[in-house]
Structure 1
Amino acid sequence: MTDKITVAGVSVDTRHWIGGERVASAGTFTDVSPIDGSVIGEIARGTATEAAAAVAAAKAAFPAWAATSRAERARLLHAVADGVEKRIEELAIVETTDNGALLRSHRRGVMPRVAHNFRFFADWLLTLEHEDFDTRGHTNHVDWDPAGPSVLITPWNAPLMLSTWKIAPALAAGNTVVLKPAEWTPLTASLLADITAEAGLPAGVLNIVQGYGSEIGDALTSDPGVRRISFTGSVPTAKRISASAAANLTPLSLELGGKSPLLVFADADLDLAVDLAVEQYDNAGQVCLAATRILVEEPIAEEFTRRFTQKAAGIVQGDPRDEATDIGPNIHPRQLEKIDGFVQRAIAAGARAVIGGHRKDGQYYAPTLLTDVAQDSEIVQEEVFGPVLTLQTFTTEDEAVGLANDTRFGLAATVATGDKERAGRVTAQLVAGTVWVNCFFVRDLQAPFGGSRHSGVGREGGNWSFDFYCDLKNTVTAPKGWKDHG
């Protein structure tokens, strides 16, 4: 295998990044672009050997990094952000080639957010404190101590942004990191390794091992030296990771699947509600937070469906490198098969495709809206992770809440209503980590993020990230007992 490949004019190293050096493997796996099915290159395929080496490098680097001052850690994270900003165009085109998401979104939103992730947690670190408090004359002082090497396992739908959402707070906290990027989208993680090296991040503080989770996952998550594991992905994989981590009582943060509802009440701004619903096709439906279950109050259901169909007809699906494109391909033939399987089984069970319901050429799936679906049906209960929405109706507020909460998930929910009091009543009853009212996908890194039920364990963001990546220590000091050394 060659050590480097060229992707849209950008040189990308195909090897792992371990202990500040590039490390090859005996085997490789093939990285394929979902845009046209072309082979991008052969990527180093990690084994338990490379995984163990990466964890060992993180362990070795941890004492010095943990002892590094907050100010210096923050400075280095800002230097990484500077490097990201200098290479936004390169990162954008490489990630679009690798995962098929829109180039314009990568340029204008996603890659700038990558830089922001580093800047936010660098700045937050410098303000992290808890006011001392008194207990019967004794002083309590809270510290956030670095916990240790952290294993971060990240998904393919927003590879670099979601990786740095974990990397940045882990490094800011004083932990060292082993990143395992998704095997379908490894390329921008490799570019990030170059950026961190150029920024001066010490060797071993960030390590990247590429490959299949089935081959290297257990070696990463079962090592007793690993003190934190953060994973974004599927529920079955999370269960395997949890079992692996249990032997060492390694704390976990899990952000998992979703089957989120969009509740549209008759008093809502209907055009806004339709816009919110059509927005759920973003990134070809490959968004964990997507409100894929549209629940519409009965009196407006017909008009909502008419306007939705009209709005969705204007979606431009095609090459994500084209500025005019609204949604691109799905990530992999296996995922496309999964999406179509869900849809065809639903139709066979009596669902009606108002729009879509079929594949298109290549790895593209037509934006789909299914009606006449039962609440207990597979298509309503299970995450599809593609451009597939269902529409159900309700007649009362209580029924709407009941339908919204009636899945095993609880990641997010969206409510469209013109009644502020109703919004308060409904959001108070929804089981979700994030609820949007008359908006969607407004996220602030200060806010807690995570899911309820099978949508996850724990919260990250702001102080919650540091609470997870650190060992909190309370020191209680008596007012007396000091000797005079004067």
Structure 2
Amino acid sequence: MTEHTLTVAGVAVDPRHWIGGERVASAGTFTDVSPIDGRALGEVARGTPAEAAAAVAAAKAAFPAWAATPRAERARILHAIADGVEKRLEELAIVETTDNGALLRSHRRGVMPRVAHNFRFFADWSLTLDHEDFETRGHTNHVSWDPAGPCVLITPWNAPLMLATWKIAPALAAGNTVVLKPAEWSPLTASLLADIAAEAGLPAGVLNVVQGYGSEIGDALTSHPDVRRISFTGSVPTARRIAASAAPHLTPLSLELGGKSPLLVFADADLDLAVDLAVEQYDNAGQVCLAATRILVEETVAEEFTRRFVAKAGALVQGDPREEATDIGPTIHPRQLEKIDGFVRRAVEAGARAVVGGHRRDERFYAPTLLTEVAQDSEIVQEEVFGPVLTLQTFADEDEAVRLADDTRFGLAATLVTGDRERADRVTGRLTAGTVWVNCFFVRDLKAPFGGSRHSGVGREGGTWSFDFYCDLKNTVTAPKGWNDHG
């Protein structure tokens, strides 16, 4: 414990930056507030361009040695980080719940185990990277994945540590160094991860964490000439600013952005399954980029679907995310709550009808909401709300279902519920989405490509696709002769 340490839910957290293997303070701070009760958790170092530059310099200095470290040794250290995550899983879970308001039971059972799995998976996958040599007119082609250099990773507040390590793990496994900029609304578990990585033996400067506001340090990170990769998860407007900042140096980008995903329910579907999947979209208070917020139901079963949905949604428990019985926790921040409320108010003024919810419960919670009688070109159908707000529309046939599903500027995911396998094959082939789930939702494998189409993103990560991004692929062509062999 030091004078800088915060105590969050009984866990000591250092709120300073982590740069070059040392804790670094800033002249200014910002207040981190828990969405559970609005209580200030403490003051966190508020980064400036100077700290951003120092972090990139530390990453650049550490890069040659880490890039030269054998893959197997890098993998060993990543497994040691995973061990540290598992050892401190309960601490990470309660700190993240306190910091961002997501369910403690989810952090314990799913999210933090996935954090450890991110490190283990990409550590092991890095050891399998191989492309069979091939010949061209007697010459041998050999493909290799070379570390790219310092990477800037900018992560969101809705699943802070899981989404950060989804980027950190492949970047480090590839031999790169990292500067992580966590979201200012949920920065604390990134600080704990820095401690865990150091204890696992990750060399100084390989992982750096700079906290603060994107408007103040974002450009210093994304425009830096020594940065070789930028990965960002967040909003489309911020992605545009990052892309413009990175453009002068042609720094490659991976962008996982917003979604307005459809859930298509056909008349031949198992309606109980369809309702379960639809209500599941309220997970994490609707603060999930992949959420299927546009429910599209075949008109012949729409009335029955709605009746069952209203009953099931009405049984959800909204409250303290630390309680086992809670299904939906608070919205992350008052500004986000106001944004959600604005979307719903404007939709109702335009003619939408709230058959579930449609209002704030208080200054922390927005009631799970289902809006009907919405126009396809309306704001509530076209724009991402990022809250517990769903819309319901009907369709007459398969063609109309696909037309409505694809009629937004996004293309992150889609969910399809049908009892007809041939229909599932037809419809999934016509949908524009990076991921399509059929009769299921949120089944994710790290071997699979993940990303969005259209305004939902640029690029794919997962499995070898992650290493394709975080590496410079090289093809070495060797002639069959010209050697001076001396036996």
Q: TM-score category by the smaller chain?
A: over 0.9
Q: Does 1:278 align with 2:250?
A: no
1:218-257 paired onto structure 2 within 5 Å: 218-257=219-258
- For residues 412-450 of structure 1, the C-alpha deviation after alignment (integer angstroms, 9 at most, x for no partner) is 000000000000000000000000000000000000000
Kindly state the Cα deviation for residue 135 of structure 1 after the two structures are TM-superposed.
Answer: 1.1
Code of the residue aligned with 2:379 in structure 1: it is: E
Partner of 2:412: 411
- For residues 248-284 of structure 1, the C-alpha deviation after alignment (integer angstroms, 9 at most, x for no partner) is 0000000000000000000000000000000000000
1:334-353 paired onto structure 2 within 5 Å: 334-353=335-354
Partner of 2:263: 262
Kindly state the Cα deviation for residue 139 of structure 1 after the two structures are TM-superposed.
Answer: 0.8
Code of the residue aligned with 1:334 in structure 2: it is: R
In the aligned structure 2, how far is the partner of 1:75 from the partner of 1:484?
A: 37
Aligned residues of 1:36 and 1:362 also touching (Cα < 8 A): no
Aligned residues of 1:266 and 1:299 also touching (Cα < 8 A): yes
Partner of 1:436: 437
In the aligned structure 1, how far is the partner of 2:485 from the partner of 2:181?
A: 54
1:78-93 paired onto structure 2 within 5 Å: 78-93=79-94
Code of the residue aligned with 2:274 in structure 1: it is: A
- For residues 112-147 of structure 1, the C-alpha deviation after alignment (integer angstroms, 9 at most, x for no partner) is 000000000000011110011111111110000000
In the aligned structure 1, how far is the partner of 2:184 from the partner of 2:193?
A: 16
Partner of 1:452: 453
Partner of 1:143: 144
In the aligned structure 2, how far is the partner of 1:376 from the partner of 1:215?
A: 35
Aligned residues of 2:89 and 2:112 also touching (Cα < 8 A): yes
- For residues 312-366 of structure 1, the C-alpha deviation after alignment (integer angstroms, 9 at most, x for no partner) is 0110000000000001000000000000000000000000000100001231000
Partner of 2:44: 43
- For residues 20-44 of structure 1, the C-alpha deviation after alignment (integer angstroms, 9 at most, x for no partner) is 0000000000000000101001000
In the aligned structure 2, how far is the partner of 1:33 from the partner of 1:63?
A: 40
In the aligned structure 1, how far is the partner of 2:252 from the partner of 2:130?
A: 22
Partner of 1:377: 378
Kindly state the Cα deviation for residue 3 of structure 1 after the two structures are TM-superposed.
Answer: 1.1
**Equivalent position SS for 1:386:** coil
In the aligned structure 2, how far is the partner of 1:265 from the partner of 1:480?
A: 64
1:86-485 paired onto structure 2 within 5 Å: 86-485=87-486
In the aligned structure 2, how far is the partner of 1:323 from the partner of 1:459?
A: 35
Once superposed, which parts of structure 1, at least 4 consecutive aligned residues long, lie more than 4 Å away?
A: none
Partner of 1:16: 17
- Aligned residue pairs total 486
In the aligned structure 2, how far is the partner of 1:113 from the partner of 1:362?
A: 31
Aligned residues of 2:337 and 2:363 also touching (Cα < 8 A): no
**Equivalent position SS for 1:210:** coil
Code of the residue aligned with 1:453 in structure 2: it is: R
- Given the two structures, how large is their TM-score scaled by the length of structure 1? 1.00
**Structure 2 runs not aligned, ≥5 long:** none
- For residues 262-307 of structure 1, the C-alpha deviation after alignment (integer angstroms, 9 at most, x for no partner) is 0000000000000000000000000000000000000000000000
Aligned residues of 2:47 and 2:212 also touching (Cα < 8 A): yes
Code of the residue aligned with 1:237 in structure 2: it is: T
Code of the residue aligned with 1:377 in structure 2: it is: S
In the aligned structure 1, how far is the partner of 2:287 from the partner of 2:197?
A: 28
Higher deviation after alignment, 2-11 or 453-462: 2-11
Partner of 1:31: 32
Kindly state the Cα deviation for residue 2 of structure 1 after the two structures are TM-superposed.
Answer: 4.6
Code of the residue aligned with 1:321 in structure 2: it is: R
**Equivalent position SS for 1:383:** coil
In the aligned structure 1, how far is the partner of 2:224 from the partner of 2:483?
A: 43
In the aligned structure 1, how far is the partner of 2:270 from the partner of 2:16?
A: 52
In the aligned structure 1, how far is the partner of 2:119 from the partner of 2:61?
A: 23
In the aligned structure 1, how far is the partner of 2:37 from the partner of 2:433?
A: 37
- For residues 193-230 of structure 1, the C-alpha deviation after alignment (integer angstroms, 9 at most, x for no partner) is 00000000000000000000000000000011000000
In the aligned structure 1, how far is the partner of 2:159 from the partner of 2:3?
A: 26
Q: Closer, same or farther in 2 for the Cα pair 1:223/1:473, shift >3 Å?
A: same
Partner of 1:55: 56
Code of the residue aligned with 2:333 in structure 1: it is: H
In the aligned structure 2, how far is the partner of 1:485 from the partner of 1:378?
A: 75
Code of the residue aligned with 2:168 in structure 1: it is: I
Q: Percent identity?
A: 87
**Equivalent position SS for 1:370:** strand
In the aligned structure 1, how far is the partner of 2:421 from the partner of 2:482?
A: 58
In the aligned structure 1, how far is the partner of 2:12 from the partner of 2:3?
A: 12
Q: Does 1:64 align with 2:65?
A: yes
In the aligned structure 2, how far is the partner of 1:138 from the partner of 1:226?
A: 35
Aligned residues of 1:37 and 1:362 also touching (Cα < 8 A): no
In the aligned structure 1, how far is the partner of 2:415 from the partner of 2:186?
A: 29
Code of the residue aligned with 1:263 in structure 2: it is: L
Kindly state the Cα deviation for residue 483 of structure 1 after the two structures are TM-superposed.
Answer: 1.5
Aligned-residue CA RMSD (Å): 0.7
Code of the residue aligned with 1:283 in structure 2: it is: N
Aligned residues of 1:413 and 1:434 also touching (Cα < 8 A): yes
Aligned residues of 1:15 and 1:23 also touching (Cα < 8 A): yes
